[in-house]
Amino acid sequence: MKTESRLEKVLASGQLAVTSEVGPPRGCNVDIVKEKANLIKDYVDGINITDNQTAMVRMSSIAGGTIIKQMGLDPIIQMVSRDRNRLAMQSDILGAYALGMNTMLCLSGDHPQFGDHPMAKPVYDIDSINMIKMVKDMRDEGKFQGGADITEPPKMFIGAAANPFADPFELRVMRLAKKVAAGVDFIQTQCIFNTDKFETWMKQVVDRGLDQKVAILAGITPMKSLGMAKYMKSKVPGMDIPDEVIDRLAGVAKEKQAEEGIKMAIEQMQRLKECKGVKGFHIMAIEWEQKVPELVKGAGLYPRPQV
Amino acid sequence: MSNFEPEIVAFCCHYCAYTAADMAGTRRISYPSNVKIIRVPCTGKVDAIHLMKALEKGADGVYVAGCLDGDCHFKNGNLRATAHVEKIKKVLEDLGWEPERVAMMYFSAGMGEQFAQGAKEFTEKIKSLGPSPASQTVGKAV
Amino acid sequence: MQKIKQDEKRVLVIGGGVGGIKAALDLSESRKQVLLIDSDYAIGGLMTQLDRTFPTNNCDLCTVSPHLSATTREKFLQISPMTELTSLSGEAGNFTATLNTAPRFIDIDKCTACGECLKKFPEAVRFTPGLDPRAPTCMRYPQATPYAYSIDMEKIDDVEALKAVCKAGAIVPDDSEQQIQVNVASVVLSVGAELFNPGVLDNFGGGKFDNVVPGLEYERIMSASGPFQGNLVRKSDQQRPKKVAWIQCVGSRGINRHDVSYCSSVCCMYALKEAMVTKERFGNDIETTIFFMDMRTFGKDYEPYYNRAKEDFGIRLIRCRPHSIIELPDKSLEITYAKEDLSLMEKEQFDMVVLSTGFRPSQKTIDLAGTLGIDLTEHNFAKSGTMDPVTTSKDGVYVCGVFESPKDIPETLVQASAAASMAGTAVPSGEWVEDLSLYPPQRDVEGEDTKIGVFVVDCDGEIGQSLDIDKILENAKTNPDVAVAEAFNLSCSFESMEKIEGLIKEQKLNRVVIGSGSPRIQEIMFQDMLRRAGLNPYLLELVNLRDQNAWAHNDAPAKSLEKAFQLVQSGISGVRKAKPLAENMLPTSQNALVVGGGVTGMTSALELADQGTLTYLVEKAPVLGGQALNLSQTIEGDDVAAFVKDLVNKVSAHENIKVFIDAVIAEHKGVPGKFTTGVKIGARTEQIDHGVTILATGATPNRPAMYGLGELDKVMTQLDLDAILENDESKIKAMGQLVMIQCAGSREADNPNCSRICCQAAVKNALRLLDVNPDLEIFVLYRDIRTYGFQEDYYKTARDKGVKFIRFDLEHRPVVREEAGKTIVRAHDFILGQDIEIEADCVALSTGLVANTETNKELCGLFNLPKTEDGFFLEDHVKLKPVDMALRGFFVAGTAHSPKVIRESITQAHAVAGRARTMLANKEITLGAAFATVDPVKCAVCLICVRACPYDVPFINTERHSEIDPAKCRGCGICVAECPAKAIQLRAWEDDQILAKLDGLFERV
Amino acid sequence: MITAEQKPLQEIFGYIAPYEKILVVGCNECVTVCAAGGRKEVGLLSSALRLHSVKAGKKLEVLEHTLERQCDPEYVDQLKELAGQVDAIVSLACGCGIQTVAAQYAIPVFPGVNTKFMGASESQGIWAERCMGCGDCMLGVTGGICPVARCSKSLMNGPCGGNSSGKCEISEDVDCAWQLIWNRLVELGIQDRYEELVAAKDWRPAGGGGPRKIIREDLAASKIITEDMA
């Protein structure tokens, strides 16, 4: 074991892992974080706390993670290179670890152009891949980027994201390989709707043996409605939503669409359980955390293993 | 300002608009004498500075008249002129001048009637706007 | 009165339409004496009555006017309006022509076209074009040549009153018919034809329905110079029509009493044009419908025009020949027509109906042919050579334009150049004299104080009636540097000119301002005056006191006078900044380069070489002959092989032709008039100097992978079939059924143009097949049969002989398949409304020609020439300069221009030879003075001029600044306006001159 | 080339409001090439300032001049006479030129343009950013396409998941630099290089180490010697 991370332990046990996420509030209300975490706590092995997601200011992920940790749960703190330089990131990692957080996700982050602070200076001192390497160097070599030794290094279980659907497709596996080379431990993928394409990607991952070096958690998002599916198809960049998803939702009455969406997500997880290389699921139930238990149960992943 | 007689300069291309102006005369179609024509080989030759200079020197309105779209004898000089006029309109807006004091028009050589009509309408427009700030000052100076 | 010079040997051009004008201009530009006669009182012909012309949909006035005013400038050209030929005796090279000139009762040298006579005597002024009394002006078009009226003296009761009205004193009451005899070396006939009068057709109203008009009348209604000032309204109620229909082939392609059998070639395009312009100008709420039989848009880039009409303009097209029109009580019209499947008769109501009528030779023309002694065809057109279409049955008499066969303006212009070229061989080019030697040396005015002469040159009150000229002069004199300010009455007479010349010399004036008419017309004349006075012609400023002041502000004399002060002051201010400018002259190389050794290239080379031009002929292939080597016969039955053989022999033996075979163009440099080109022959490269270049690189037979071509044994092209016909008649005799498929690879998305030659090729081969095997059943699957002109007769013969023509469209394409060793063609029959299957012993695809993409791309790169989207060379002006390229000294002919039949290629070959002569005859090329120059110190080498120039002239030179070749600059001044460093000036139009003119306008003197 | 764009006229009016006689100075280098501050723009701006003063009813005299290059003191010296006649200067040069003028004359010098970026001309009238002057050129390993200047996130190991059909997530008008890099590597047949990790960038040469300066000893030597001798 490299770390104390519960996620690492679940994965090491050979069982399918389940993670989900909680977006911190746009204010100081601690209860919101707790409420959301309570909805999913028994059904997941780790809870992602997003870091100024979509470049909108929110409570910091480390603060959110601290609250969740205090609840006795397992936070996975997200960290984007958009808002901090190397100096700040390393100090935050030390702090987070000191507060009991041992699992993190390295991201570059949505460009400020998207969010509510487009006037802010984007930092991007380093990219997500160099961030992975930085965290790994801190953990395994006990070194800061400047070369100095860390007296008590943080032992972070290192995650990163992958989007099998972004362009160009032929680079998606190669870029994953770069993250693996940089030292990533687990991957949470972008939400999957085009399962065929995901399986194609997975096959290439397996063919290169990357699944032996990194644990891949397939990203699952249940569709709440036909409107949401259409919106994601047309408006959200990097989303690949095949027509059959739209058609299937359109085929049921409006009030039954949510139910159908859950059904579809469950079927998808059942299908992907059989997919070689898939080591678990990362469920992103956007503003729909209360459905996570149903999904986990439906996919036959409940109860979660005790490790 | 009912007896206000604006000074208007029209830059006309040799091949189309200037010929159209001649034709208006040949057919004795009258238009306001306020319009004074400066002949250019192509409206693409009309520098944006010329429009500004005309206003500086005391013109109450300036327009550029070229060939119809697609008929320019130098391929696209009339479209370039249009762009220059648009640019100066924006400048005038920034200056707090009425952008309508500059305009672009298009005539084929045979459009004498339309030339006169255009001259009339533009003159009316400028009359309704009143003297330009510069022409007032120039006027005072004399 | 203009007197015709009788002594010199010349070419006589009969007919002053566009064709005649073009022929006369080409000849005079080639420094050959030419006399242009026209029976009308102004030249211009039919084109001047059109509203806009296809395919550019340009305003016609605008495109024709520069063409016409150029005529007056030419030294070798004399124009005699109202003149007719009454006899021609003698023989080629030495004819005697007797000419009769009718009295005009106006001295055209004095008439200023002021229009006073018209105002007072509206009945007495002769006037031709349609819908007369309401037309806004009596001039046939605003830039008429000669610029003078014509009086019908019989309608004048009080001659003295008329004389009093004419301030110019141009009335000649005792004018009489003149007859003269002139020596003529050759004759060019360009007399055109009339348009069929549909008034004789009872089923279309017999001319009695107000709102049924022939196409030309519709043009007049839409024309800005027409009776309604370009406003489209119905004659019956002056209301804008909501639904307009066109009926094609009225009087053409028919067998009824008033019909002719041939196709008039232009009506499809003009109907499309009229419908498109209607939509464009009068909004989309007008519905336009065209009833047609076959849509014949066979010219260069005409098919996309047709597609635009359908797709972009939403013009409704109904394939049928309407049966009749009846007039409804509200003067609307009901058309009865049968649909293609003959299922039922339809009736539909329209507000206006336009009849697309075609060409008919007039009785006058037929009589003229008799006078000349030339043969006519069965259709009463001039009988022309089948391989040399501008020759007639009489040596020394040539024909061009519609009198040869129905055709549009570009083709008329091509034939005119061709006829001029051939007719011109009989007359030597005039000696080259440097024009400047005619004038005294120019005085050097540098360093002199400005000394301006201001002259108001009036034409007996044109200006003076509305403006107080004395006051204008007085005002001008307040400028200290105005030394002389005088008025001249009686216009631009020779006398006034001499007086001004005298004043310039006496007073040592160094700048001149003339207040008179429009500089567009008068600048050349006054520039000439300055030259005679020993001044540089650019030290002149013209003030348009007449057209743009006196005539335009009659209603406000006081304001008009004030404007005159301003305009004159502007002129004075501007002329102070004027600089003496030298016109650029460049001696030209006298050699010609012809690229391509096919029939076209060889014909051009021969014609140039015959007139003493050293001609280099470069052919890529190892033999001369080009695509014609694959062709055995023309539709008229000429033996192509023999013709080509003869041509090759002549070319090979000619002392002035140097042939390079197996050779390609490798390098090219120089300026117009002086080029050096490297020709690569094997490993060696030869450098040749030439002044003109003719591109005759031909086209390639298309072999599209369609309908089983290249896969099925029995599927072949028309060229393959031609070879079988020539070499293996037994195979033909063994056939039972043969299918031809038209438009194979043409009029398709990847090759949208019509290949023009395929319909006649199919008809030709069908007739030849039947000659060999009369029992053969032939099916021609077609989209539109485009046997334009007299080819229609062969089409009719083919139908009469039992060839079956079955139409298809892209939704119902024929399918060719092989089944149990049989080749089966499946097609849809629209008349039967069902699919049919034909077992074919041979399937011949009409595949047409495509551009030599590779060759043309290479040549365009080397020569810096433009090409069309489909890879053919792009001419300078699709209508007015159909064989000239945008770069001076380059010409294109034959199928390198677009697909065409051999005789059309040969016509273009003669035409380019003639056009090339116009450059070679002038040993120097005049480049004008108005070109852009770069100040190297100011230039920031930003490339903006390089990118802005519409002709790609500026380049960054090795001295690190932009350079503009005066020889290539067209003088538009676009680069000047765009230059961010203000480093470029256009000579004669410099910024300080323009700003000085502005200053002048606002100076309160 | 350094690119620039004219400032909003209102801002310039604000700067010169207190003065009655000003000089508008152009530069015949980059800002001429990008049509922001050459002789033509000097003329246009001067005209606009005059028209504005007329409208505002105030006295304003505007002199015009364009220097060969505003970022060299010798050229800027040429303004001596004109600068002596005016109350203030509006410079249409890039920031380098404006500062050079300001350094040499003891009257207010105002910017007339916003200096934008180092760019290349894509076609007439369109310039696009190509270089950020990072001081440590990596074009050699990225197929000649700069991820520092052209990737919105300056990623050393892109593309990120925001690449959609070759366009950047921030706008459809922005090409994904890493897509371009990948295409180029494929074109050159060296796509294997893609998987080499590019280390995090050292930003010191890019200005992280404070204002930058180049000293060419060989060229600067004579100057140093002259100074020493003086």
Beta pairing, strands A186-191 & C178-189: unpaired
Host domain of residue B60 = 8-131
Establish if B136 belongs to a structural domain: no
Task: Please report, rounded to a whole number, the percentage of residues in chain C having pLDDT higher than 90.
Answer: 63
Q: What angle do CA C224, C226, C227 make, to 5 degrees?
A: 125
Of A114, A167, A178, the CB nearest to D179: A167
Q: Cβ B22–C544 below 8 Å, yes or no?
A: yes
Domain count, chain B: 1
> Is residue C993, in this structure, part of any structural domain at all?
no
- Predicted confidence at residue C4, as pLDDT, reads 58
A54: alpha, beta or left, given left = phi > 0 and alpha = psi -120 to 50?
left
What is chain A's alpha carbon radius of gyration, rounded to the nearest angstrom? 19
Q: Say if residue C54's pLDDT is above 80.
A: no
Percent of chain B topping pLDDT 90: 70
CA distance C695 to C628: 17
Domain boundaries, chain D: 2-117, 133-230
Contacts of C519 in chain B (CB under 8 A): 39
pLDDT above 70 as % of chain A: 99
Cα dihedral across residues C151, C156, C158, C161: positive or negative: negative
Tell me the residues of chain D between 37 and 66 that have a Cβ less than 8 Å away from chain A: none
Query: Which of A42-46, C3-7, C485-489 is least confident?
Result: C3-7
Q: Are the beta carbons of B95 and D9 separated by less than 8 Å?
A: yes
Helices (H) and strands (E) in chain C, counts: 24, 49
Verify whether the Cβ–Cβ distance D55 to B48 is below 8 Å. no
Residue C142 reports pLDDT greater than 50: no
Residues C834 and C732 in one domain: yes
Q: Could you tell me how many CB contacts below 8 A there are between chain C and chain D?
A: 40
pLDDT number for residue C139:
33
C-alpha to C-alpha distance for C593 and C657, rounded to whole angstroms: 10
For tokens 């002919």, name the residue: C893
pLDDT digits (tens, 9 = 90+) for C830-876: 888 889 999 999 999 999 999 999 999 899 878 877 778 788 998 87
Total of domains in chain C: 7
- Reference C551, options C523, C597, C517, C509; nearest CA is C517
Q: What is the mean pLDDT of residues D98-112?
A: 97
Phi-psi domain of A237 (left: phi exceeds 0; alpha: psi -120 through 50; beta: other): beta
Which residue segments constitute the domains of chain A, with CATH numbers given? Answer: 6-222+278-298 (3.20.20.220)
C597-617 burial, b if ≥16 CB within 10 A, otherwise e?
bbbbbbbbbbbbbebebbbbb
pLDDT at C673: 83
Q: What mean pLDDT, rounded, does chain C reach?
A: 88
B91 and D55 within 8 Å at the Cβ level: the answer is no
Q: Which of C896, C926, C956 is the last residue of a domain?
A: C926
Residue of C nearest to B44 (CA): C974
* Whether residue C129 has pLDDT greater than 90: no
Region D16-45 average pLDDT: 97
Q: Domain for residue C2, yes or no?
A: no
Nearest CA in chain D to B95: D52
Given C116, C142, C176, the domain boundary residue is: C176
Residues in chain A: 307
CA distance D126 to chain B (A): 15
Bridge-partner residues for C701, per DSSP?
A: C849
Residue carrying the six token digits 């479209």: B79
Instruction: Measure the CA angle with vertex C66, ends C62 and C72; round to 5°.
Output: 140
Q: How far apart are CA C654 and CA C657, in angstroms?
A: 5
Q: D2-117, what's its fold? A: Rossmann fold (3.40.50)
Q: Say which residues have a Cβ less than 8 Å from residue C522's Cβ, sequence separation at least 6.
A: C492, C514, C516, C542
Which tops the pLDDT comparison, C493 or C788?
C788
What pLDDT is stored for residue C228 in this prediction?
75
C169: domain range?
Answer: 103-176
Closest CA to C16 of C64, C88, C76, C87: C64
pLDDT for B68: 83
Q: Tell me, what amino acid is at C443? A: R
Q: Which pLDDT score is estimated for D202? A: 95
Name the D residues in 92-151 with CB < 8 Å from any C CB: 121, 123-124
More confident residue, D105 or C110: D105
Alpha-helix runs per DSSP H in C654-809:
718-727, 729-733, 758-772, 791-800
Read off the DSSP letter of residue C694.
Answer: E
Amino acid C6: pLDDT: 59
Q: Give me the residue label for tokens 């678990």.
A: A280
B139 touches chain D (CB under 8 A): no
Amino acid at position C5, single letter: K
- What phi-psi label fits residue C932: left (phi over 0), alpha (psi between -120 and 50 degrees) or beta? beta
Q: How many Å apart are CA C141 and CA D184, to the nearest integer?
A: 61
Q: Which of C830, C847, C864 is the last residue of a domain?
A: C847
* Cα–Cα dist C571/C555, whole Å: 24
Average pLDDT, chain A: 95
Q: CA-to-CA distance for D169 and A108, rounded, in angstroms?
A: 13
- Say which CATH number the domain at B48 has: 3.40.50
DSSP H helical segments within C553-659, as ranges?
Answer: 557-576, 599-610, 640-653
Chains B & C: contacts with CB separation below 8 Å: 174
User: Per mean pLDDT, which range of A27-31, A284-288, B133-137 is the poorest?
Assistant: B133-137
Q: Does C982 touch chain D (CB under 8 A)?
A: yes
C373: left (phi over 0), alpha (psi -120 to 50) or beta: left
Q: Using an 8 Å Cβ cutoff, are C691 and C591 in contact?
A: yes
Q: Quote the tokens at residue C639.
A: 């033996």
Strand partners of residue A216 = A187, A278
Interchain CB distance below 8 Å, B133 and D10:
no
Q: Does the beta-carbon distance from C948 to B68 stay under 8 Å?
A: no
Q: How far is D179 from chain A (nearest CA, A)?
A: 7
Q: How does residue B139 score in pLDDT terms, banded at 50, 70 and 90?
A: low
Per-residue 3-state assignment (H helix, E strand, C coil) for C703-714: CCCCCCCCCCCC
Is residue B142 one of the residues assigned to a domain?
no
pLDDT at A187 over 80: yes
How far is D84 from chain B, CA to nearest CA, in Å? 26
Looking up tokens 């100090």 gives: A91
Q: Is B80 on the interface with C (CB under 8 A)?
A: yes
Nearest to C688 by CA among C592, C611, C623, C588: C592
Asked if C870 and C751 touch (Cβ cutoff 8 Å), the reply is yes
Q: Are strands C194-195 and C592-595 parallel, antiparallel or unpaired?
A: unpaired
Tell me: do C245 and C209 sit in the same domain.
yes
What chains are in contact with A, requiring at least 3 Cβ pairs below 8 Å?
A: D
CB atoms within 10 A of CB C982: 23
| B133 part of contact set with chain D, CB < 8 Å | yes
Taking 60 as the threshold, does the pLDDT of residue C637 lie above it?
A: yes
Residue B138, domain member (yes or no): no
How many Å lie between the alpha carbon of D133 and the closest alpha carbon of chain A? 16
3-state secondary structure chain D: CEEEEECCHHHHHHHHCCCCEEEEEEECCHHHHCCCCCHHHHHHHHHHHHHHHHHHCCCCEEEEEEECCCCCHHHHHCCHHHHHHCCEEEECCCHHHHHHHHHHCCCCEEECEEEEEEEEEEECCEEEEEECCCCCCCCCCCCCCCHHHHCCCCCCCCCCCCCECCECCCCCCCECHHHHHHHHHHHHCCHHHHHCCCCCCCCHHHCCCCCCCCCCHHHHHHHHHHHHHC
Flag if C548 and B59 touch (Cβ within 8 Å): no
> Distance from C412 to chain B by nearest Cα, in Å?
22
User: D158 — contact with chain A (CB < 8 Å)?
Assistant: yes
CB A6 within 8 A of CB A45: yes
Secondary-structure breakdown of chain B: helix, strand, coil percentages, each rounded to the nearest 5: 50, 15, 35
Return the higher-pLDDT residue of C412 and C551. C412
Checking if the pLDDT of C341 tops 90, the result is: no
Looking at residue C128, what is its pLDDT? 43
Q: What is the CATH number of the domain that holds C938?
A: 3.30.70.20
pLDDT (0 to 100) of residue D29: 96
Q: What is the ipTM of this complex?
A: 0.88
pLDDT at C429: 77
pLDDT band at C113 (very low <50, low <70, confident <90, very high): low
Reported as a single tens digit per residue, the pLDDT across A197-207 is 999 999 999 99
pLDDT tens-digit series, residues B65-101: 998 876 677 878 999 999 999 999 999 999 999 999 9
Is any Cβ of chain C less than 8 angstroms from the Cβ of B101?
Answer: no
Subunit contact A238:D163, Cβ cutoff 8 A:
yes
Is C603 within the bounds of a domain?
yes
Residue B140 has pLDDT above 50, yes or no: no
Q: Which of C407, C366, C414 is nearest to C390 (CA)?
A: C414
**Tokens encoding C261:** 């059998």
Over residues D184-201, the pLDDT tens digits come to 999 999 999 999 999 999
Query: Considering only alpha carbons, which residue of chain D is nearest residue C983?
Result: D39
Domain check: are C560 and C681 in the same one?
A: no
**Whether residue C679 is found in the same domain as residue C709:** no
User: Which pTM does this prediction carry?
Assistant: 0.66
Say what the pLDDT of residue A177 is. Answer: 96
Q: Is the pLDDT of residue C321 over 80?
A: yes
Query: C405 or C128: which carries more pLDDT confidence?
Result: C405
- Residues C27 and C185: their CA atoms lie apart, in Å, by 13
Tens digits of residue pLDDT in B41-75:
999 999 999 999 999 999 999 999 998 876 677 87
Torsion angle in degrees (nearest 10) through CA of B45, B46, B49, B50: 130
pLDDT at B34: 96
pLDDT one-digit tens code per residue, C419-477: 999 999 988 877 665 554 567 889 999 999 999 999 998 865 678 878 999 999 999 99
pLDDT in tens, C519-576: 877 787 788 889 889 999 999 999 999 889 988 997 888 999 999 999 999 999 999 9
pLDDT above 80 for C646? yes
CA C414 – CA C416 distance, rounded (Å): 5
Residue C997 in domain: no
pLDDT at C3: 54
- A269 contacts A299 by C-beta, under 8 angstroms: yes
- Structure letter (DSSP) for residue C146: S
D126 confidence band (pLDDT: 50, 70, 90): very high
Q: Do C265 and C333 share a domain, yes or no?
A: yes
Distance (Å, whole) CA C102 – CA D201: 94
Q: For C292-306, C576-590, D96-110, which range has the lowest pLDDT when averaged over its residues?
A: C576-590
Distance from CA of D10 to the nearest CA of B (A): 7
pLDDT tens figures, C767-820: 999 999 999 999 999 999 999 999 999 999 999 999 999 999 999 999 999 999
Chain C touched by B73 (CB under 8 Å): yes
Verify A-C touch: 3 or more CB pairs within 8 A.
no
pLDDT value for C140:
36
Q: How far is the alpha carbon of D108 from chain A, nearest alpha carbon, in Å?
A: 30
Position C488 scores a pLDDT of 86
Say yes or no for a CB contact (<8 Å) between D161 and A82: no
Which residue, among C133, C201, C494, has the nearest Cα to C353 in the 3D structure? C201
Confidence of residue D227 (pLDDT cuts 50, 70, 90): low
CA distance B102 to chain C (A): 16
C599 φ, ψ to 5°?
A: -60, -45
Q: Is D51 on the interface with B (CB under 8 A)?
A: yes
For helices A257-273 and A243-250, the axis angle rounded to 10 degrees is: 140
Query: Higher confidence at residue C938 or residue B70?
Result: C938
Q: Do D161 and A190 touch (CB under 8 A)?
A: yes
The answer to whether the Cβ–Cβ distance between C982 and D33 falls below 8 Å is no
pLDDT in tens, C888-930: 899 999 999 999 999 999 999 999 999 999 888 878 777 678 8
